[in-house]
Chains A and B, each alone.
Chain A
């Protein structure tokens, strides 16, 4: 009877007491369940890759007769030596590095020039041009593939690395400009304006003042570009037919066919193809995360 008195004091006091006692325990249990859940998701995300490392170091006998989760008895590093020397993997690797670097440099420089012109210079139509670049983000690659194939054939750029480098650049310009834009807009203009007052030329301002100041964001944009280019498949698969010009993604796709049952060799090939990106992520994870976040959600 006391507890339902209109003023309600005892009841509230009581409720508060139980709350104070039970809340930490409940919280700890909930926290524990959630933690287990998050860790399970992490295991699901990482385990296939660990499994890949495992079978890349096994021989066929171990792959086919033992548990897929067993550790390789003595790691068969020769799988790596074999695929690196036997096929064209080293050549594909060099091609991937070359195309990736060329396209990244071209893209970041061109995108910086555009972003500079859009955020620092005064002209009509800057919004329109920016819009044109941004809409490019939404265009499905497949809707451009046939004309690109036929144009490159007509101007003798088919089966030519230049076709790959130029398409990578064109298709990565929108996202690169998007990444740069936020940084340029937040960057104070006083230094550049002071330079104008001092009579500096615009090229001097861009190359000697703006570019050095935007180094961090250029690095972010470059690493994102690097990942996209390194992993790209459709363009190379469509425009390149000579083995000598293929990149790793397309190369391994054809190359793996000859090792249908040699899982060790297949695993080693795959590890070689993903290792550069994994190492880059190990060293530059924060920069990569920042780049992915800023290149996806401002639109």
Chain B
């Protein structure tokens, strides 16, 4: 039996195609991005090795740090919104009629293309005929803001559809995890006289802590590399007011043709994502020991 199941030729045949694709299209490009980040390069002509100069420029690039701040703000809001999803899921996983239908409705936005969501919300935010401002004007506010065109509001106006887009995803994950808790544990606590809140906080939350950790990583890292809605809805504008790291990188590369500098941003983005993942894992692991 071992002979058949450890046939080297078959093994190579089964593993190699997928491995080749992942190495060629994910891992080697990462190394290349690191390499290009050390170059001055417009994407077509010769590359000039300039060492860490791109990173030195990056450290002083106020526009980049502003977009990094926006990315972190998005991450912060996404992480905070997890508390709301957790709350909704706990209610939903109690004995609520129609819970299944509700959670399916919550999920629908997540299934739609970001471009379609972006276009739809651009219509919702439309200054004169959008759903939002029509309601505001009807309720007596005479001069409602232009949302996406307003430098003070654009970023927050985009964060709302991003949260709208992913809410159902996290609710689904929490709901599934809560439903996996053995009924006997909850029942035992109830017989001991624990209130629904005590059961939620002292029994259910610790039991799904691992899932919560994963969702924190997903929400934070997903926010740090977020791109789609921002690129379509404002292109980072007005005047960089809603620019995030990924959209800034994209603009430097494919509009500014500064491929070397954009690669440095791309590599920096990768490092940030990996470091933040590591920090959250460490931080939440330490947290677990308290329980």
Interface residues of A (CB under 8 A from B): 34-35, 37-39, 41-42, 44-46, 48-49, 51-52, 55, 63-64, 67-69, 110-111, 113-114, 116-117, 120-123, 129, 132-133, 136, 138-151, 166-167, 169-171, 173-174, 177, 193, 196-197, 201-203, 206, 227, 230-231, 233-234, 238, 248-250, 252-253, 256, 263, 266-267, 270, 273-274, 277-278, 281, 285, 288-289, 292-293, 296-297, 299
Q: Indicate if the CB atoms of B119 and A270 lie closer than 8 Å.
A: yes
A142 touches B119 (CB 8 A): no
Which A residues are CB-close (under 8 A) to B250? 142, 145, 234
Say which residue of A129, A144, A252 sits within 8 Å of B19 (CB atoms): A129
Say how far A12's CB is from chain B's closest CB, in angstroms: 12
Report the Cα distance A267→B124, complex, angstroms: 12
Tell me the bound Cα distance from A146 to B112 in angstroms: 27
Whole-angstrom distance between the alpha carbons of A44 and B121 in the complex? Answer: 13
With A41-B88, A231-B112, A233-B113 already in contact, the answer to whether A142 and B225 are too (CB < 8 A) is: yes
Task: Check B2–A122 contact: CB distance below 8 A.
Answer: yes
Between-chain CB contacts (< 8 Å), 6 pairs: A132-B22, A146-B36, A173-B22, A230-B113, A233-B228, A296-B173
Q: Is the CB of B176 within 8 A of A293?
A: yes
A44 touching B164, Cβ below 8 Å: yes
Selected interface stretch from B147-155, B267-275, B282-290:
B267-275
Interface string of B174-190 (1 = CB under 8 A from A): 00110000000000000
List of B residues within 8 angstroms of A116 by Cβ:
14
Contact of A117 among B14, B28, B112, B267 (CB under 8 A): B14
Within the complex, what minimum Cβ distance (angstroms) separates A221 from chain B?
13
Quick one: which of A113, A143, A150, A292 contacts B15, CB cutoff 8 A?
A: A113
* Separation of A71 and B109 alpha carbons in the complex (Å): 22
> Would A270 and B120 count as touching, CB distance under 8 A?
yes
Tell me which residues from 251 to 291 in chain B have a Cβ below 8 Å from any Cβ of chain A. Answer: 253-254, 259, 262-263, 266-267, 269-270, 273-274, 277
User: Is B253 touching A68 in the complex (CB atoms < 8 A)?
Assistant: no
Q: How far is the CB of B109 from chain A (nearest CB, A)?
A: 6
B24 within 8 A of A: yes
Looking across the interface, which residue of chain A has its beta carbon closest to that of B35? A147
A274 to chain B: which residues have CB within 8 Å?
A: 112-113, 116
* A256 (CB) vs chain B CBs: closest residue: B119
Say whether A48 contacts B32, CB under 8 Å: no
Cβ contacts B112-141/A at 8 Å (1 or 0 each): 111110011101100001110010000000
> Inside 8 A of A138's CB, which chain B residues have their CB?
221, 273-274, 277
Interface centre among A141, A146, A252, by most chain B C-beta atoms within 10 angstroms, is A146
Among B25, B177, B225: residue with most chain A CB under 10 A: B25
Q: Does B59 contact A (CB under 8 A)?
A: no
Give every chain A residue within 8 A of B103 (Cβ-Cβ). Answer: 289
Q: Which one of A45, A149, A171, A197 lies within 8 Å of B1 (CB-CB)?
A: A197
For B50, the chain A residues whose CB sits under 8 A away are none
Q: Which residues of B contact A51 (CB under 8 A)?
A: 124, 131
CB distance from A290 to the nearest CB of B (A): 9
List, in ascending order, chain B residues with CB within 8 A of A39's CB: 102
